[in-house]
Amino acid sequence: MKEAYKETTRYGMVIDLDKCTGCGTCMVACMAENNISFKEDETNKLDSITWMRVYKITNGRPYPNTEICYIPRPCMHCEGSHGHPAPCVSVCPATATDQDPKTGIVSQIYTRCFGCRYCMAACPYHARYFNWWDPVWPGEMEKYLNPDVSPRMRGVVEKCSFCHHRLQRAKNKAYLEGRREIREDEYIPACAQACPANAITFGDLNNPEHKVYKLKKSPYAFRLLERLGTNPKVYYLSRKGWVRRAADN
Amino acid sequence: MDYALIPEGVKRCSFGKFVLWISAVSLLLLWGAAGALLCWIKGLNQTNMNDYFGFGIWITLDLAVIALGAGAFFTGFLRYIIGIDELKNIVNFAVIIGFICYSSALAILGLDVGQPLRGWFIFWHTNIHSMLAEVAFCITCYFCVLCIEYLPLLLENRQLKKIPSLNLFGHHLHRIVAVFAATGTFLSFFHQGSLGGMYGVLYARPFAFRDGFFIWPWTFFLFILSAIAAGPSFTILITWITQKITRKKLVKKNVIALLAKISGWLLLGYLFFKIADTIYWATVTAPARGFTFMDFYRNQPYGLWLFILEIGICGVIPAIILLTRRGRENNSWLILACFLNCTGVVINRFVFTVQTLALPVLPFDRFVTYFPSWQEWASSLAVIAYGIIVISLSYRYLPVFPQEKELNPA
């Protein structure tokens, strides 16, 4: 029974949009944690790499009735449906992107990707980024790189990995302590850890003991583009009807 | 100067004039090579593609030349498998056009990927579920078939023919060309289809996604049909341009008319299924994903006009011209119909590549614009220069058109 449960671990996120202030800490934490390089001139956001991107939406009504909501958007780690895997997984011609059946995490093998960008075309969330430039870190910044995360080379696609290296670290720690399972608080991605408003909750969506399990069942929970059948593992919470309506077509 | 290389009994321009012509075209090729080299050395930041437009002019060009190059396999199929004898007078030229189209497509693909040196990963780490993997396999294999089909023609060169071993090899190769025509047909059906399948399977891109049969979305079959409808028209168009430039009749009218008629019927069949597919997509597939038909055409540059241009002006009109005897027999109408037919298939490939990516799917996302950089334009235009050079060399030194002597008596 325990083994069967283990097989169906599905890591996911619940982001409370009513708590999110749009401060961008999640984006900064993600960039620092995952060795995301940056360009000398970052004004063109269309070729900048932001695994975690915060969108700003409004209710479209004039002042004083204007309301704003910020939507942090990591990779959705889509589960797929009706026999389809995640949209990006089945299209990759070189099997450079895959879904771990044990965790549900959609991975990217940078050294196997040859940069055809078909996965980017398949992803409706724009969660995949191409390295248009050689990765460069100015001055002494190379010393601050995370040794657990490999930097990516020019010409390959990359995306949010739910800080997969943190899962590896937690597993190693559990192994050394003679445990088979890792605790809920042992594996948390950098964005969730850094959020000052505690808007991001992370855990196993299939485990009734994890917070995300309860949160995703909230009547205010929704996912982006539900009707496409991508079956994302990132849920959002908002008590505002216009926010929930803005998430799907 | 090169008289000894020119086929017997035909007239060609002076060597000086030919060199001048090739040099002028080579300038365009060199400009393209400069753009391509910059992309290879400095990376794809030399293009204007971005994370919203991961596919740009190159992919449209790739899909377009592969569709237009379908004249090679389809003419070969009609000539060697179905046995339509008249087409022997144009099949050589169709093979050359196909060779140009497919070699250009492979070169452009090598330019378009971020890590060209890892291109072989597609064969080594193949994901059998990916339509792109199938495309890569079939295109590569079919290009080899095209090389084999081109080879007997190359060996027909006056000087090469004098070498007995090569002559014998060419003769035997020619005898089994039907086998290669059949192989080419099989491979082409699959990669033309898989190119369509590439977009039809994008179930999270409602503009491109289509239901289908078994593992193949309807776009799989539509791409095959549109390619075999446009391919022969492209062969006619390039034959006409070659005749205009050389100021000679190279292929008899009845051969052209036959190819035009076949193209017309195929176009009609394609339009029927395309319109049926569009109706089903607009009324069933897209609404199930929360989109109405007009959501795809409202408030953005790619309006309904593009749809009307593709299906109406570049679809229905050429079909009518090609299917009427008077339309086929009038040279101006025929060429206009072929041009529109080819333009229609190019627009179709553009719509599936660029428009699919351009349309935002997230409700709060915005429409961003893309215009190719000079490096992208230069390398794309270089394909035309390359085509002109290959055709010019082939026409000058090889007996491409069997009816040339008869139509242009000395």
A164 - beta bridge partners?
none
Is B228 inside any structural domain?
yes
Asked if pLDDT for residue A4 goes beyond 50, the answer is: no
Q: Which amino acid is at B212?
A: G
A57–B contact, CB cutoff 8 A: yes
Average pLDDT rounded to a whole number, residues A106-111: 96
* Mutation to test the A interface, candidates B130, B135, B294, B376, most A Cβ within 10 Å: B130
Give pLDDT, residue A249: 63
Provide the pLDDT confidence category of residue A98 given band limits of 50, 70 and 90: very high
Residues of A with Cβ-Cβ distance to B52 under 8 angstroms: 46, 126
Asked if pLDDT for residue A1 goes beyond 60, the answer is: no
Is B398 inside any structural domain?
no
The domains of chain A are located at: 2-245
Q: Which domain holds residue B300?
A: 56-358
Tokens of B294: 């007009």
Q: What is the pTM of this model?
A: 0.92
Interface touch B131/A128, C-beta < 8 Å: no
Is B404 inside any structural domain?
no
Give pLDDT, residue A5: 43
Which of A247, A243, A246, A237 minimizes the C-alpha distance to A16?
A237
Is B399 inside any structural domain?
no
Specify the CATH number for the domain of residue B192: 1.20.1630.10
Provide the pLDDT confidence category of residue A204 given band limits of 50, 70 and 90: very high
Interface touch A96/B125, C-beta < 8 Å: yes
Type and span of the H or E element at A157 = strand A157-159
Is B94 inside any structural domain?
yes
Interface touch B132/A93, C-beta < 8 Å: yes
Asked if pLDDT for residue A7 goes beyond 60, the answer is: no
A153–B contact, CB cutoff 8 A: yes
Pick the CATH number of A2-245 from 1.25.40.10, 3.30.70.20, 3.60.20.40, 3.90.70.10: 3.30.70.20
Residue A84 has its nearest CB partner, among B113, B136, B203, at B203
Asked if pLDDT for residue A2 goes beyond 50, the answer is: no
Average pLDDT rounded to a whole number, residues A206-222: 96
Give pLDDT, residue B150: 92
d(CA B307, CA B277): 13
* Mutation to test the B interface, candidates A111, A117, A222, A243, most B Cβ within 10 Å: A117
Q: Which amino acid is at B83?
A: G
Average pLDDT rounded to a whole number, residues A207-229: 95
Interface of A with B in 188-217 (CB under 8 A): none
Average pLDDT rounded to a whole number, residues A58-62: 93
Contacts of B195 (CB under 8 A, 6+ apart): B63, B66, B67, B131, B135, B223
Distance of CA B205 to the CA centre of its chain: 25
Provide the pLDDT confidence category of residue A175 given band limits of 50, 70 and 90: very high
Is B162 inside any structural domain?
yes
Residue of chain B minimizing CA distance to A112: B121
Name the CA radius of gyration of chain B, rounded: 22
A37–B contact, CB cutoff 8 A: no
Residue A147's alpha-carbon distances to A138, A143, B244, B329, in angstroms, are 17, 10, 66, 73
From A182's Cα to the closest Cα of chain B, the distance in A is 32
Quote ipTM for the complex. Answer: 0.91
Is B177 inside any structural domain?
yes
Cis amide linkage into residue A64, ω under 30° from 0: yes
Give pLDDT, residue B190: 87
Contacts of A98 (CB under 8 A, 6+ apart): A89, A106, A107, A109
Contact by Cβ (8 Å): B289, B206 = yes
Give pLDDT, residue A3: 43
Tokens of B274: 């395309």
Mean pLDDT by 10 residues, chain B (410 residues): 86 93 97 97 95 94 94 89 90 94 94 95 94 92 91 90 89 85 87 93 94 91 95 95 94 93 96 96 94 88 93 96 93 96 96 92 90 96 96 95 87
Residue B125 has its nearest CB partner, among A95, A117, A155, at A95
Domain count, chain B: 1
Q: What is the average pLDDT value for chain A, to the nearest integer?
A: 93
